[in-house]
Amino acid sequence: MTKVRFALPKGSLENATFEILGKAGYKLSGQERTYRPSINDPEIEPRILRPQEIPIYVAEGLQDIGITGLDWIKETNSDVEVLLNLEYGAIKLVLAVPKPWAMNSLSQLVEKFWKEKRELRISTEYLNTTVSYLKSNPAYKNHYGDLDPLVITPWWRIGNNPSVSVFLSFGATEAKPPENADAIVDVTETGTTLEQNNLKIIEIICESTAYLIANKDSLKDKEKREKIYDIFTLLKGVVDGRKRLHIFVNVSEANLQKLLKQLPALKRPTISPLSEKGWYSVNTVIDRRIFIELLPKLRKLAQGLVVYEPRQVLSLDEIFNKKQGD
């Protein structure tokens, strides 16, 4: 039996990942004690890894699919198939400097250190993203052209512009300024930790959420492809289910057509006659965002209303078309 190797993220994405898998119907156990938890699907082999590693392992075929942050997919520049935005774990990758500094952009930061002929030191876990962001900045290009910032790690140094140095951080990045760094590139959810460390955000580099990714060769394997799309379907069902409401409406025959004109549906609403002649039940799935707007119309036209929050909404034809187009 061919197994699909499924990389699950450790750390900040961990709890939300196990929650969405649970809502998708998967039961995992042992994750508190091992990095190889068990799952109620014998065709899946889960493995818990750091989100930083997952894009690389999936790209190299060491894992068939994985869940990681978009920030790490971009940072590692991994050649993977991006299947689904899971829409949790939202963070921002930001550039931050000490609060007292009178600057509000990377350009101002670069200009200040260039005029003062001082080395600009940036601490980050995101070396590639930071280098690319610096080199795309107009002030940097104006003063340093195509020179690469000096990247410093415990093992090597690369780059040919010692005036701007990017230091690899192993965590607690917000604690580095001002003694060990002039600025940082780091992730934040609310900005509270940066605020507590006397830092302010001057630019947002990118925004990120958790994504489901796959190895491109695994998608070419017939057996693995089918299982990967089973996982994709169930997880997409949870993502879509969070955005929908399942409603049941009782309506008189006189108001039925008026209601149907007002009522959006996932495809077509299901209409069933009730035991009392002249009354119908209408069953449909609607976008959660329009429910408040729709409620006054339902009150005027319907006799009763039942609202459910669906666990999953599976748009099987949409997934089939995506699969066929890959």
Instruction: Identify the H or E element spanning 245.
Output: strand 244-252
Which of 208, 232, 253 corresponds to the end of one domain? 208
pLDDT, position 323 = 59
**Cβ burial, residue 78 (10 Å; 0-12/13-18/19+):** buried
Measured CA distances, 244 to 73, 104, 160, 294, 311 (Å): 29, 40, 53, 13, 9
Do 83 and 168 lie in one domain? The reply is no
Same domain, 225 and 135: no
| Residues in a beta bridge with 81 | 214
The pLDDT value recorded for residue 258 is 87
Q: What is the pLDDT of residue 205?
A: 97
Tell me what pLDDT residue 265 has: 67
Asked whether residue 201 falls in the same domain as residue 219, the answer is no
pLDDT of residue 35: 92
The CATH code of the domain that includes 249 is 3.30.70.120
pLDDT of residue 293: 87
Q: Are residue 203 and residue 215 in the same domain, yes or no? A: no
- Supply the pLDDT for residue 269: 85
Q: Do 233 and 252 belong together in one domain? A: no
pTM comes to 0.88
**Does the residue 322 lie in any domain?**
no
In a domain, 59, yes or no: yes
CB 176 within 8 A of CB 184: yes
Range of the domain at 192: 92-208
User: The CATH number of the domain where 41 resides is what?
Assistant: 3.40.190.10
Say whether both 26 and 55 belong to one domain.
yes
Task: Give the model's pLDDT for residue 91.
Answer: 96
Q: How many distinct structural domains can be found in the chain?
A: 3
| Number of neighbours of residue 114 by Cβ within 10 angstroms | 17
At residue 322, the pLDDT reads 62
Last residue of a domain, one of 189, 220, 241: 241
Rounded Cα–Cα distance for residues 168 and 127 (Å): 7
Q: 105 and 143 share a domain?
A: yes
Query: Which ranges in the chain belong to alpha helices (H)?
Result: 14-23, 54-59, 70-76, 106-115, 127-135, 138-144, 192-196, 222-241, 253-262, 291-301, 316-325
Per-10-residue mean pLDDT for the chain, 326 residues long? 93 94 93 90 96 97 98 97 96 96 95 96 97 97 97 96 96 94 95 94 97 97 94 94 90 89 75 90 88 88 85 67 61
- The pLDDT score that the predictor gives to residue 290 is 86
